[in-house]
Amino acid sequence: MASCDPFLALFCYLTGEWPHPLKNTSPLPSASDELLLSLEKIRQRVLTCTACSLYQTAKQSVFSDGSPHTPLVFVGEAPGEEEDNQGLPFVGRAGKLLTATLEKFGVSRNKVYICNILKHRPPNNRPPTLEETLACTPFLREQISLIQPKLIVALGNSAAKYLLSTEDGITKTRGKEHTSILGFPVFPTFHPAAVLRNYTAYYPLFETDIHEALQRVGLCQR
Ligand code: SF4
Protein backbone atom coordinates (compact mmCIF):
# COMPACT_ATOMS: atom_id res chain seq x y z
CA MET A 1 0.00 0.00 0.00
CA ALA A 2 1.31 3.45 -0.90
CA SER A 3 2.37 5.52 2.12
CA CYS A 4 0.89 8.98 2.69
CA ASP A 5 3.17 11.98 3.32
CA PRO A 6 1.48 13.82 6.25
CA PHE A 7 2.77 17.22 5.06
CA LEU A 8 1.37 16.58 1.58
CA ALA A 9 -1.93 15.55 3.13
CA LEU A 10 -2.02 18.74 5.25
CA PHE A 11 -1.13 20.93 2.25
CA CYS A 12 -3.78 19.27 0.12
CA TYR A 13 -6.38 19.64 2.83
CA LEU A 14 -5.61 23.33 3.41
CA THR A 15 -5.58 24.16 -0.26
CA GLY A 16 -8.48 21.90 -1.19
CA GLU A 17 -6.21 20.23 -3.75
CA TRP A 18 -6.73 16.60 -2.89
CA PRO A 19 -4.74 14.12 -4.95
CA HIS A 20 -6.54 12.07 -7.57
CA PRO A 21 -9.01 9.84 -5.70
CA LEU A 22 -7.53 6.68 -7.18
CA LYS A 23 -4.13 7.62 -5.81
CA ASN A 24 -5.43 8.85 -2.45
CA THR A 25 -5.12 5.99 -0.01
CA SER A 26 -5.08 8.20 3.12
CA PRO A 27 -8.07 8.11 5.47
CA LEU A 28 -10.30 11.16 5.78
CA PRO A 29 -9.24 13.53 8.58
CA SER A 30 -10.72 12.64 11.97
CA ALA A 31 -12.83 15.13 13.89
CA SER A 32 -9.84 16.12 16.03
CA ASP A 33 -7.68 16.65 12.90
CA GLU A 34 -10.45 18.81 11.49
CA LEU A 35 -10.35 21.01 14.58
CA LEU A 36 -6.57 21.42 14.39
CA LEU A 37 -6.69 22.12 10.67
CA SER A 38 -9.49 24.66 11.04
CA LEU A 39 -7.56 26.47 13.77
CA GLU A 40 -4.42 26.36 11.64
CA LYS A 41 -6.30 28.07 8.83
CA ILE A 42 -7.26 30.90 11.21
CA ARG A 43 -3.64 31.13 12.42
CA GLN A 44 -2.45 31.45 8.83
CA ARG A 45 -4.84 34.37 8.32
CA VAL A 46 -3.55 36.02 11.50
CA LEU A 47 0.02 35.70 10.17
CA THR A 48 -0.85 37.94 7.22
CA CYS A 49 -3.46 40.15 8.90
CA THR A 50 -3.19 43.91 8.34
CA ALA A 51 -6.64 44.83 9.69
CA CYS A 52 -5.08 47.17 12.25
CA SER A 53 -1.61 48.70 12.58
CA LEU A 54 -0.36 46.48 15.41
CA TYR A 55 1.29 44.02 13.03
CA GLN A 56 3.70 46.81 12.07
CA THR A 57 5.17 47.24 15.57
CA ALA A 58 4.92 43.70 16.96
CA LYS A 59 7.73 41.19 16.39
CA GLN A 60 5.29 38.43 15.54
CA SER A 61 1.71 37.32 16.07
CA VAL A 62 0.68 35.35 19.16
CA PHE A 63 -2.10 32.92 18.38
CA SER A 64 -2.55 30.37 21.16
CA ASP A 65 -1.00 27.77 23.41
CA GLY A 66 -2.25 24.53 24.92
CA SER A 67 -4.79 22.11 23.49
CA PRO A 68 -8.04 22.95 21.70
CA HIS A 69 -9.37 19.56 22.83
CA THR A 70 -10.37 20.96 26.18
CA PRO A 71 -13.45 22.13 28.03
CA LEU A 72 -11.63 25.23 29.36
CA VAL A 73 -10.34 28.27 27.45
CA PHE A 74 -8.42 31.18 29.01
CA VAL A 75 -8.69 34.55 27.28
CA GLY A 76 -6.53 37.57 28.11
CA GLU A 77 -6.30 41.01 26.59
CA ALA A 78 -3.17 41.11 24.43
CA PRO A 79 0.40 39.78 24.23
CA GLY A 80 3.07 41.47 26.32
CA GLU A 81 6.80 41.79 25.69
CA GLU A 82 7.79 38.20 26.46
CA GLU A 83 4.82 36.86 24.53
CA ASP A 84 5.85 39.01 21.57
CA ASN A 85 9.39 37.59 21.83
CA GLN A 86 8.31 33.96 22.03
CA GLY A 87 5.13 34.02 19.92
CA LEU A 88 3.17 32.33 22.73
CA PRO A 89 0.52 33.72 25.10
CA PHE A 90 1.06 33.99 28.86
CA VAL A 91 4.72 32.98 29.02
CA GLY A 92 6.13 35.97 30.94
CA ARG A 93 6.04 36.38 34.73
CA ALA A 94 2.24 36.64 34.72
CA GLY A 95 1.91 33.58 32.52
CA LYS A 96 4.22 31.60 34.79
CA LEU A 97 1.95 32.45 37.71
CA LEU A 98 -1.05 31.15 35.75
CA THR A 99 0.84 27.97 34.82
CA ALA A 100 1.97 27.40 38.42
CA THR A 101 -1.56 27.89 39.72
CA LEU A 102 -2.95 25.37 37.25
CA GLU A 103 -0.24 22.90 38.23
CA LYS A 104 -1.06 23.42 41.91
CA PHE A 105 -4.38 21.74 41.11
CA GLY A 106 -2.79 18.98 39.04
CA VAL A 107 -3.57 20.50 35.62
CA SER A 108 -0.77 21.07 33.15
CA ARG A 109 -0.91 23.98 30.75
CA ASN A 110 -1.38 21.69 27.78
CA LYS A 111 -4.75 20.51 29.13
CA VAL A 112 -6.33 23.93 28.52
CA TYR A 113 -6.37 26.41 25.63
CA ILE A 114 -4.84 29.87 26.17
CA CYS A 115 -5.18 32.90 23.92
CA ASN A 116 -5.78 36.63 23.84
CA ILE A 117 -8.32 38.92 22.23
CA LEU A 118 -5.53 40.76 20.37
CA LYS A 119 -3.09 38.68 18.36
CA HIS A 120 -0.36 41.32 18.12
CA ARG A 121 1.27 43.24 20.98
CA PRO A 122 0.30 46.91 21.36
CA PRO A 123 3.46 49.09 21.58
CA ASN A 124 4.77 49.46 25.16
CA ASN A 125 1.85 47.33 26.37
CA ARG A 126 -0.59 50.22 26.01
CA PRO A 127 -4.28 49.22 26.17
CA PRO A 128 -5.68 48.28 22.77
CA THR A 129 -7.95 50.84 21.15
CA LEU A 130 -11.57 50.06 20.44
CA GLU A 131 -10.79 49.92 16.71
CA GLU A 132 -7.98 47.41 17.25
CA THR A 133 -10.19 45.27 19.46
CA LEU A 134 -13.04 45.28 16.96
CA ALA A 135 -10.64 44.45 14.12
CA CYS A 136 -9.22 41.43 15.97
CA THR A 137 -12.21 39.89 17.73
CA PRO A 138 -13.45 37.94 14.69
CA PHE A 139 -10.41 35.66 15.15
CA LEU A 140 -11.29 34.99 18.78
CA ARG A 141 -14.91 34.37 17.89
CA GLU A 142 -13.85 31.78 15.33
CA GLN A 143 -11.44 30.10 17.75
CA ILE A 144 -14.11 29.81 20.45
CA SER A 145 -16.81 28.62 18.13
CA LEU A 146 -14.56 25.84 16.83
CA ILE A 147 -13.40 24.73 20.28
CA GLN A 148 -16.88 24.90 21.89
CA PRO A 149 -15.57 25.13 25.46
CA LYS A 150 -17.69 24.41 28.51
CA LEU A 151 -16.28 27.52 30.15
CA ILE A 152 -14.15 30.56 29.26
CA VAL A 153 -12.03 32.13 31.97
CA ALA A 154 -11.66 35.84 31.21
CA LEU A 155 -8.31 36.97 32.59
CA GLY A 156 -8.56 40.59 33.68
CA ASN A 157 -10.75 43.60 33.24
CA SER A 158 -10.47 44.09 29.48
CA ALA A 159 -11.23 40.49 28.57
CA ALA A 160 -14.13 40.34 31.03
CA LYS A 161 -15.60 43.64 29.85
CA TYR A 162 -15.42 42.57 26.22
CA LEU A 163 -16.76 39.04 26.75
CA LEU A 164 -19.58 40.19 29.01
CA SER A 165 -20.25 43.43 27.14
CA THR A 166 -20.33 45.24 30.46
CA GLU A 167 -18.78 48.28 32.07
CA ASP A 168 -18.65 46.48 35.44
CA GLY A 169 -15.11 46.08 36.75
CA ILE A 170 -13.36 42.81 37.47
CA THR A 171 -13.83 43.05 41.25
CA LYS A 172 -17.58 42.96 40.63
CA THR A 173 -17.69 40.26 37.93
CA ARG A 174 -14.97 37.86 39.13
CA GLY A 175 -15.68 34.50 40.73
CA LYS A 176 -19.13 34.13 39.14
CA GLU A 177 -20.39 32.51 35.97
CA HIS A 178 -21.96 34.83 33.39
CA THR A 179 -23.35 34.47 29.90
CA SER A 180 -20.96 35.88 27.31
CA ILE A 181 -21.59 37.62 24.01
CA LEU A 182 -20.02 34.57 22.36
CA GLY A 183 -22.76 32.30 23.72
CA PHE A 184 -20.51 30.36 26.10
CA PRO A 185 -20.35 30.74 29.90
CA VAL A 186 -17.63 33.08 31.14
CA PHE A 187 -15.98 33.00 34.56
CA PRO A 188 -13.86 36.17 35.04
CA THR A 189 -10.90 36.48 37.36
CA PHE A 190 -7.99 38.86 37.83
CA HIS A 191 -5.29 39.10 35.19
CA PRO A 192 -2.23 37.35 36.66
CA ALA A 193 -0.21 40.55 36.00
CA ALA A 194 -2.59 42.40 38.34
CA VAL A 195 -2.16 39.59 40.87
CA LEU A 196 1.61 40.05 40.76
CA ARG A 197 1.19 43.78 41.46
CA ASN A 198 -0.97 43.13 44.54
CA TYR A 199 -0.08 39.57 45.43
CA THR A 200 -1.19 39.45 49.06
CA ALA A 201 -4.67 40.76 48.38
CA TYR A 202 -5.36 39.17 44.98
CA TYR A 203 -3.58 35.82 44.89
CA PRO A 204 -5.95 33.97 47.28
CA LEU A 205 -8.94 35.16 45.20
CA PHE A 206 -7.21 34.29 41.92
CA GLU A 207 -6.31 30.83 43.20
CA THR A 208 -9.88 30.23 44.37
CA ASP A 209 -11.27 31.31 40.99
CA ILE A 210 -8.90 29.09 39.00
CA HIS A 211 -9.71 26.15 41.28
CA GLU A 212 -13.44 26.68 40.86
CA ALA A 213 -13.16 27.01 37.07
CA LEU A 214 -11.19 23.73 36.90
CA GLN A 215 -13.77 22.00 39.08
CA ARG A 216 -16.68 23.31 37.02
CA VAL A 217 -15.35 21.70 33.85
CA GLY A 218 -14.21 18.49 35.57
CA LEU A 219 -10.47 19.03 35.16
CA CYS A 220 -9.94 18.98 38.93
CA GLN A 221 -11.82 16.70 41.33
CA ARG A 222 -10.21 18.00 44.54
S1 SF4 B 1 -3.89 42.69 16.20
FE2 SF4 B 1 -5.43 41.42 15.22
S3 SF4 B 1 -6.50 42.79 13.76
FE4 SF4 B 1 -4.57 43.78 14.33
S5 SF4 B 1 -3.11 43.12 12.74
FE6 SF4 B 1 -2.92 41.69 14.46
S7 SF4 B 1 -4.28 40.00 13.93
FE8 SF4 B 1 -4.87 41.73 12.63
Q: What CATH number has the domain bearing residue 210?
A: 3.40.470.10
Q: Are 110 and 210 in the same domain?
A: yes
- DSSP assignment of 38-58 equals HHHHHHHHHHT--SSTHHHHS
Q: Are 38 and 78 in the same domain?
A: no
In a domain, 221, yes or no: no
* Burial call 61-75: b when 16+ CB within 10 Å, e when fewer: bbbbbbbbebbbbbb
Mutate to test the pocket of ligand 1, among 44, 60, 120, 125 (most ligand atoms within 8 A of CB): 120
The kind and range of the H/E element at 165 are none
Nearest atom within ligand 1 for CA of residue 61 = 6
What's phi and psi for 125, nearest 5 deg? 60, 25
Query: Ligand 1 centroid vs 54 CA: distance in angstroms?
Result: 6
Each residue's pLDDT expressed in tens, for the chain with a length of 222 residues? 334 444 444 444 444 444 433 444 455 667 779 999 999 999 999 999 999 999 999 999 999 999 999 999 999 999 999 999 999 999 999 999 999 999 999 999 999 999 999 999 999 999 999 999 999 999 999 999 999 999 999 999 999 999 999 999 999 999 999 998 999 999 999 999 999 999 999 999 999 999 999 999 999 988
User: What is the domain range of residue 24?
Assistant: 1-48
Q: Are 164 and 173 in contact (CB under 8 A)?
A: yes
Query: Ligand 1 centroid vs 115 CA: distance in angstroms?
Result: 13
Q: CB of 118 closer than 6 A to ligand 1?
A: yes
Task: List 41's β-bridge partners, or say none.
Answer: none
